[in-house]
Amino acid sequence: MTGGSPSGPHPVAARIVSRLVEMGESVAAAESLTGGLVMAALTSVPGSSEVVRGGIVAYALEVKAHLLGVDPDLLATVGPVHATVAEQMAVGARWLLGATYGVATTGEAGPESASGQPVGTVFVAVAGPGEVRGAALVVEGDRWTVREAATEAALALLEESLEASAVEMSR
């Protein structure tokens, strides 16, 4: 159910937007694999303009390096589908768009591998105040299934990061 539906906004995104409003924080995205699906989910929520700063779809290596600040040597060494690349993309989105949190996706959706990584390899990351979190998953299925799973994983990681920050702030 990526991006919401005619019956309403994406449920995880709705919780995220509500939490960000509550906390007075904001979010930005850098998406490769998902091509804007994370932002579509977040902006499916009424009132999201209060907390969503923007998103960048960064398919090309040059965009990842020059716009988001991903280390070009890292890209040359490991390619675009790597945990550290996702983390650097999240940090770059956060910095470039002036958000409290940056979320990023990268991976191989197929049907054939363009990166040398197996189809279904996905990395997501969230950069927030003082912390960068990442997650890796392997998804079986067609291109849409991989992209949808990556979107759901990115949103879940963002929600976890917000919950961890809320706990930390309450101490």
Q: Is residue 4 part of a domain?
A: no
Q: Is residue 6 part of a domain?
A: no
pLDDT for the residue numbered 7: 64
Identify the band that residue 170 occupies on the pLDDT scale cut at 50, 70 and 90. Answer: low
Give the integer Cα–Cα distance in Å for 3 and 24: 23
Q: Is residue 63 part of a domain?
A: yes
Residue 86 near residue 158, CB atoms below 8 Å: no
Q: Is residue 74 part of a domain?
A: yes
Judge whether residue 4 has pLDDT over 80: no
Q: Is residue 2 part of a domain?
A: no
Q: Is residue 1 part of a domain?
A: no
Taking every pair of Cα atoms in the chain, the longest distance, rounded to a whole number of angstroms, is 48
Question: Side chain identity at 107, as an amino acid letter?
Answer: G
Give me the domain span that covers residue 37.
Answer: 11-169
DSSP string, the chain: -TT-BTTBS-HHHHHHHHHHHHHT--EEEEESTTTTHHHHHHHTSTTGGGTEEEEEE--SHHIIIIIT---HHHHHHH-SSSHHHHHHHHHHHHHHHT-SEEEEEEE--SSS-SSSSPTTEEEEEEEETTEEEEEEEE--S-HHHHHHHHHHHHHHHHHHHHHHHHHHHT-
Q: Is residue 95 part of a domain?
A: yes
Tell me the sheet residues that pair with 155.
Answer: none
Q: Which of 79-83, 115-119, 166-170 has the lowest mean pLDDT?
A: 166-170
Burial call 78-114: b when 16+ CB within 10 Å, e when fewer: bbbbbebbbbbbbbbbbebbebbbbbbbbbbbbeeee
pTM for the whole structure = 0.94
Residue with tokens 């105040």: 129
Q: Can you give the CATH number for the domain in which 79 is found?
A: 3.90.950.20
Judge whether residue 27 has pLDDT over 70: yes
> Number of structural domains, the chain?
1
Question: What mean pLDDT value characterizes the chain?
Answer: 94
Give the integer Cα–Cα distance in Å for 10 and 2: 7
Closest CA to 162 of 137, 128, 134: 128
